[in-house]
């Protein structure tokens, strides 16, 4: 009954096996391992992007903050949803990596900005000449912090607003595979074909030990990214262990299989919650993360029964929670938590 976060799950057996295999013998360090070459090829194939450059780091915060710092100067604004992880959950990492860029919150229901809310935010910043910060970039998140997803068309509509002002676009894909599965989109459709310039491609939450890829569809700043990664202490000496995770993750569709299981368990939760008296969803939940509302007393009961998830702030008279399914969540887990939630 562990639904606190998908980062509470372990690594998938295939990932562990790959790590074990990669542990044989000696390897050149700092990214010169042969596995990394194969990772690059895999990413290019999967994204239909033969020019893309790929760098591995071990945390999502590193992937996001490096990507953001690469795309914005210090005196500019990063337009991101008000609830974006980079904006509120990384202790100022974008500000640190970018030497002081400014996160500008963009409004939007269910964790999603719209062309209208983005346009409104853009019109409030960058009009003051030298006195205010400049417009720097757009950062989207898919799956969003609310558990909702953007379709490729929605992403394209947002990047079009940004690109009309010359702004580059980043996608925080900590749960990118879950978003692909939820929308049926291809990696290319969800990224560069929709105007994304750089992607944080998450592995950690979806069955890896700890690996994220920064995928640059325009390789022009690749060397700068390498320098920023090293300078930030994110270049691994025994890099083969990052490579091995990512290779296994992207091989034979493992990443999509793992995400499919997580999303399927999310759907099962949605279905089951429909039977829990008084339970509703604050946001649509097409992927693996749900934010239910339920009657007072529910959290105490469920947690006492062994359910593990985060209670969340709720409107007066109700309670709320955040439940996240992962690649390792089973139907039995879902059924157990539903039982725990039911009076």
Closest separation between CB of residue 132 and its own copies, Å? 6
Residue of 18, 39, 84, 101 interacting with its own copies (CB under 8 A): 101
Q: Is 187 or 203 the residue whose CB approaches its own copies more closely?
A: 203
Residue of 18, 35, 36, 62 interacting with its own copies (CB under 8 A): 62
Residue of 41, 42, 100, 163 interacting with its own copies (CB under 8 A): 100
Q: Residue 5 interacts with its own copies (CB under 8 A)?
A: yes
257: exposed, middle or buried (Cβ count in 10 Å: 0-12, 13-18, 19+): middle
Output Rg (C-alpha) for the chain, integer angstroms.
20
For residues 178 and 6, give the distance between their C-alpha atoms in angstroms, rounded to a whole number: 11
Pair 291, 283: CB distance under 8 Å: yes
Closest separation between CB of residue 98 and its own copies, Å? 8
Spatial neighbors of 284 by CB under 8 A, at least 6 apart, are: 110, 147, 148
Closest separation between CB of residue 188 and its own copies, Å? 27
Reading the block at residue 244, the tokens are: 């091995």
Q: Is the peptide bond before 143 cis (omega within 30 degrees of 0)?
A: yes
Closest separation between CB of residue 308 and its own copies, Å? 8
Site string for its own copies, 262-301 (x = CB under 8 A): ----------------------------------------
Q: Residue 7 interacts with its own copies (CB under 8 A)?
A: yes
For residues 295 and 320, give the distance between their C-alpha atoms in angstroms, rounded to a whole number: 8
Residues 101, 104, 109, CA angle at the centre, nearest 5°?
150
Closest separation between CB of residue 218 and its own copies, Å? 18
Q: Is 6 or 197 the residue whose CB approaches its own copies more closely?
A: 6
Residue 99 half-sphere exposure, CB side, CA atoms within 13 Å? 7
Pair 213, 56: CB distance under 8 Å: yes
Residue of 35, 61, 149, 323 interacting with its own copies (CB under 8 A): 61
Q: Residue 236 interacts with its own copies (CB under 8 A)?
A: yes
For residues 214 and 43, give the distance between their C-alpha atoms in angstroms, rounded to a whole number: 10
Phi/psi at 44 (5° precision): -60, -40
Residue of 230, 278, 296, 331 interacting with its own copies (CB under 8 A): 230
Site for its own copies in 191-220 (CB under 8 A): 204-205, 209-210
For residues 202 and 193, give the distance between their C-alpha atoms in angstroms, rounded to a whole number: 19
Site for its own copies in 131-190 (CB under 8 A): 131-134
* Binding region for its own copies (CB under 8 A) out of 84-92, 108-116, 145-153, 165-173: 84-92
Site for its own copies in 20-39 (CB under 8 A): 20, 23-30
């Amino acid at each position: 009954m562990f639904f606190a976060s998908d980062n509470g799950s372990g690594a998938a057996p295939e990932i562990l096996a790959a790590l074990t295999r990669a542990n044989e013998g000696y390897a050149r360090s700092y990214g010169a391992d042969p596995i990394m070459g194969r990772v690059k090829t895999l990413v290019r194939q999967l994204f239909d992007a033969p020019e893309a450059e790929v760098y591995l780091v071990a945390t999502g915060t590193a992937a996001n903050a490096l990507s953001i710092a690469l795309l914005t100067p210090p005196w500019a604004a990063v337009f991101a949803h008000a609830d974006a992880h980079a904006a509120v959950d990384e202790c100022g990492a974008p500000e640190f990596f970018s030497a002081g860029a400014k996160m500008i919150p963009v409004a939007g229901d269910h964790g999603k900005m719209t062309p209208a809310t983005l346009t409104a935010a853009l019109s409030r910043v960058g009009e003051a000449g030298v006195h205010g910060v400049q417009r720097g970039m757009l950062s989207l998140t898919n799956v969003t912090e609310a558990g909702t997803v953007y379709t490729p068309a929605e992403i394209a509509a947002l990047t079009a607003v940004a690109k009309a002002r010359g702004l580059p676009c980043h996608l925080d894909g900590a749960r990118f595979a879950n978003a692909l599965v939820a929308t049926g989109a291809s990696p290319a459709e969800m990224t560069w074909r929709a105007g994304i310039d750089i992607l944080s491609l998450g592995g950690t939450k979806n069955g890896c030990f700890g690996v994220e890829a920064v995928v640059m569809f325009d390789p022009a700043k690749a060397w700068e990214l390498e320098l920023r990664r090293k300078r930030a202490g994110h270049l691994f000496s025994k890099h083969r262990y990052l490579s091995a995770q990512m290779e296994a993750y992207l091989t034979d569709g493992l990443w999509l299989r793992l995400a499919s299981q997580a999303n399927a368990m999310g759907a099962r939760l949605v279905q089951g919650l429909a039977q829990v008296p008084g339970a509703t969803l604050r946001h649509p939940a097409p992927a693996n993360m749900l934010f239910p509302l339920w009657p007072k007393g529910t959290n105490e009961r469920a947690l006492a029964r062994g359910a593990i998830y985060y209670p969340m702030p709720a409107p007066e008279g109700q309670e709320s929670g955040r439940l996240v399914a992962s690649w390792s969540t089973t139907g039995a887990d879902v059924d157990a938590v539903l039982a725990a939630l039911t009076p």
